[in-house]
Amino acid sequence: MTKSNEAGWNLDNSYARLPESLYSSAKPTPVNSPELVILNNQLAASLGLIVQQLQSENGVEVFAGNEVLEGGSPLAQAYAGHQFGHFTMLGDGRAVLLGEQITPQGERFDIQLKGSGRTPYSRGGDGRAALGPMLREYIISEAMHALGIPTTRSLAVVTSGESIIRETELPGAILTRIAASHLRVGTFQYVSRWGTEEELRALADYTIERHYPEIKEDENRYLSLLQEVIKCQAELIAKWQLVGFIHGVMNTDNMAISGETIDYGPCAFMDTFDPATVFSSIDRQGRYAYGNQPIIAGWNLARFAEALLPLLDDDQDRAIEIAQEQISGVNDLYNSNWLAGMRAKLGLFNEEKEDEALIENLLKLMDKHDADYTNTFRALTFDNANDMDLFDTEEFAQWQEQWQARRGRQEESKASSDELMRNSNPAVIPRNHRVEEALEDAVENGDYSVMERLLDVLSNPYAHSAEQEEYATVPELKVPYRTYCGT
């Protein structure tokens, strides 16, 4: 066991004090020759950790799962989930929760190793992870954080010194993931299906205490919990849509109760605007396409409400009525968040009832003319009609005239409107070809310089700096871009 205070670790594990049916003790499986390949210095400092100690041999042993931290209680969480609509028993099959870091400010964050070996929930898998997918999660999660989108974060990636077998032999790696918690809709589904009402109540009370303590004295705190989760998920999915992010696997086990984006598998960012865009190789029916994400979020939240039914009211019919009433408002809440974000992207401070039509008409034009989503808003921000076909059309000229007239009807100045657009429209996103370029150099050549430069450019997406220009270009793709889950 490693002493925690040398590197600033201050671990507890409140989850281990929940009923034992919710988890299984599971120590990481040691690896022979771990090597630190990337460390998030800024995140480490915010957690109260000492970067120099984390980079030491002992620090790397912790990230590899070879040393158990003092105060930690390693475990794998049990959960269920609807995967592409089909319900199944799941659990942490290749992840171990070391414990919760309590920061100098008193905040609590899960410290989880992903790719750290088999657990009781591995379901025949090897419990390991390949380097490429772990680096992908590092890049995308940190980009999402910089974009201002709630997300789990990546503290470190170490190579294991071992190969793993997927379609081919690949270098193994372990990611250290930081999260507000790893509580999922699927966690509640698991307890609802296989646990007792007392265990469900204990989980709900724990969730409230950890994430929504302001509601614990409410008359019906479990109804308030449902409302809070609906609210934060409506905000989250709207933020995804506003930057063109496609999660790829919006199963109920991949929806965090905290409102953070979690589990970056076959995720990617949309280039050409098309609501039917799908990148995941396993999403053959387009269930989780870009345009479907708000609908799926509502479906997932309905499953959360179902799991909470015994706590919402003693009378089942009344509980169902309460749940249906809350779920019926999900779409309106999402639309409100999305419209507010879209208004900001177009430099609009106030509200007019015609705004939704103005926004939808722009999106239809973008779809019709195969316009790049991010670069269209970027061009509007700087009044820079580049060589995109969209800007040469009479339809766009008419739309632009309507938009400028709309901007002119608000009290705020054009300069204020322009500033709002600069702060709402990123100059850069993790373009798929740039991510692949960084991963290829890292995995094939052991060269992390391309990835490090990409991370630097993505760290301030609203800077609109000169160095970001080359990262805004989009290549012509001969075949559709595809992503893979990595398991």
3-state secondary structure of 435: helix
- Rounded Cα gap, residues 133 and 174, in angstroms: 10
Q: How far apart are CA 157 and CA 137, in angstroms?
A: 10
Helix (H, G, I), strand (E, B) or coil at 128: strand
d(CA 245, CA 144): 9
* Closest by Cα among 19, 13, 17 to 199: 19
SS3 call for 207: helix
Alpha-carbon span 268 to 290, nearest angstrom: 10
Distance, in Å, from the CA atom of 116 to the CA atom of 156, rounded to the nearest integer, reads 13
Q: Give the tokens for residue 263.
A: 């589990």
Alpha carbon distance 389, 31 (integer Å): 53
Catalytic residues: 253
Q: Determine the Cα–Cα distance for residues 408 and 344; give it in Å rounded to an integer.
A: 15
Give 177's strand partners.
112, 154
Amino acid at 217: E
What is residue 130's three-state secondary structure? strand
What angle do helix axes 293-312 and 221-243 make, rounded to 10 degrees? 170
Q: Counting beta carbons within 10 angstroms of the beta carbon of residue 161, is it exposed (0 to 12), middle (13 to 18) or buried (19 or more)?
A: middle
Evaluated on CA atoms 57, 59, 65, 67, the torsion sign reads positive
Q: How is residue 179 annotated by DSSP?
A: E
Cα distance between residue 277 and residue 10, in whole Å: 43
CA–CA gap between residue 368 and residue 129 (Å, rounded):
40
Helix (H, G, I), strand (E, B) or coil at 223: helix
Of 132, 139, 136, 135, whose CA–CA distance to 171 is shortest? 132
